[in-house]
Amino acid sequence: MKPGVAVGVLVIEKGKVLLGKRHPDLVGGGYWCVPMGRLEYGEAIRECGLRELEEESGLTAREIRVLSVHNVILPTSHYLTFSLLAHGISGEPQVKSPLEITEWAWFSLDQLPQPLFYPIKEMITVYHRQHSLIDGVVLEHRWG
């Protein structure tokens, strides 16, 4: 089996992260995750992130950038997963793919729901390493 490529979009607004509950019939059913999906043939990573964000939640983003890359190896699958961070969000989250996500909700970064779908916990950890939240203002720290 060859590894696949997945893209997940981290949406953080006012210190809260948008997470969706995966449909019970899917791998990771009942787990919370960000908008995510498989990269299509010929598609750019950022294009995939914008497409998945809109297809699953109805949200659009003014800008999206790569946050991290995760090599996710599970007993039944292997994915190289790009995590993207969205900026300039427009719209309200809505369930647009009910066979994938059953609900969307905003959660405080220090009170995440359980269980979290892989590699969401790692995406948020990377976000914390690169950003500090003080009174809802995001301060960016650049390393090196």
Contact 38, 4 (CB under 8 A): yes
pLDDT beneath 70: ranges in the chain:
132-144
pLDDT, residue 137, reads 41
Residue 65 identity: R
pLDDT, residue 134, reads 46
Q: Is 42 helix (H, G, I), strand (E, B) or coil?
A: coil
pLDDT, residue 7, reads 96
Distance CA 139, CA 128 (A): 11
- Please state which CATH class domain 4-140 belongs to: alpha beta
Tokens (6 digits) for 103: 């609900």
Residue 104's Cα: distance from chain center in Å?
Answer: 12
Tokens (6 digits) for 100: 């994938």
